[in-house]
Amino acid sequence: MPLILLILKIYIKIKISKVYKYIMRILAIQNRMGIGDTVIFLPYIQKISEKFNTPVNLLVKKNSKADQFLDQTNYIDEIIHLEQDNKKEKHDGLVGAFRLAQELKRYKFNKVFIFNSSLRFNIIARLARIRNIYQYPLFTKKNQHIIKPAITLIKESLNVDVNNNPRINVDENLSKLAISKYNINKKKLNILLAIGGSGPTKRIPANTFLSVMKKITNKKKM
């Protein structure tokens, strides 16, 4: 192939990719509580972004704190809060479902990936006029594994395997600020313990963490 034709082909491909990225709008729905559950699904959301060459919008609960730790991650676009917790939030109940559908409709999403088996979210996506809906099999929530359905969903819908760890982009200046603030020595082993939990069944007692910290400290001294 002549060099000029090769260059032209590459140029057209780049242009088409940019246009596709501009018009393609994708939503991922992750309605589990807490930071940890959101982090678990990041590799699957990243694969969606890579497949379609566009950042993905997230519909997550406020207590996921996604707007605080994913705001600099390049495969995430907008974070939309799902206000549904105790039947008093604006997305609760039948009226709330219609309200959420109307809110999502304004985004004009082309595709949605629903990381649950809920008929409610399937109907909401349809009311929001989202043409392509990818979701776990309906009515299979009981005893459902947290990861396996996500693996199957991405494999069957995108024909890709997910084997990467969660990746979060953090501003380098913020990293330097944390290192300075907490007097972190890069030459030593630094261990961060995440001791929170979104519910009583997910919280480990503080004494357990204190015991682990003491054992790590003693082992390091040996």
pLDDT digits (tens, 9 = 90+) for 139-191: 888 888 989 999 999 999 999 999 888 999 988 888 889 889 988 888 887 87
pLDDT band (50, 70, 90) for residue 30: very high
Which tokens go with 207? 């004494």
Q: Is the pLDDT of residue 5 over 70?
A: no
Rg (CA), the chain: 21
- 216 or 3, which is more confident? 216
Residue 222 confidence (pLDDT): 56
> Angle at Cα 174 formed by Cα 209 and Cα 45, nearest 5°?
75
Q: Which domains does the chain have, with CATH numbers?
A: 11-158 (3.40.50.2000), 172-221 (no CATH)
Residue 2 confidence (pLDDT): 65
- The Cα 217–Cα 220 span in angstroms is 5
> What percent of the chain stands above pLDDT 70?
85
Residue 51 confidence (pLDDT): 94
pLDDT band (50, 70, 90) for residue 102: very high
Residue 193 confidence (pLDDT): 76
End-to-end Cα spacing for the chain: 66
For the chain, how are helix, strand and coil distributed in percent, rounded to 5? 50, 10, 40
> To the nearest whole number, what is the mean pLDDT of the chain?
86
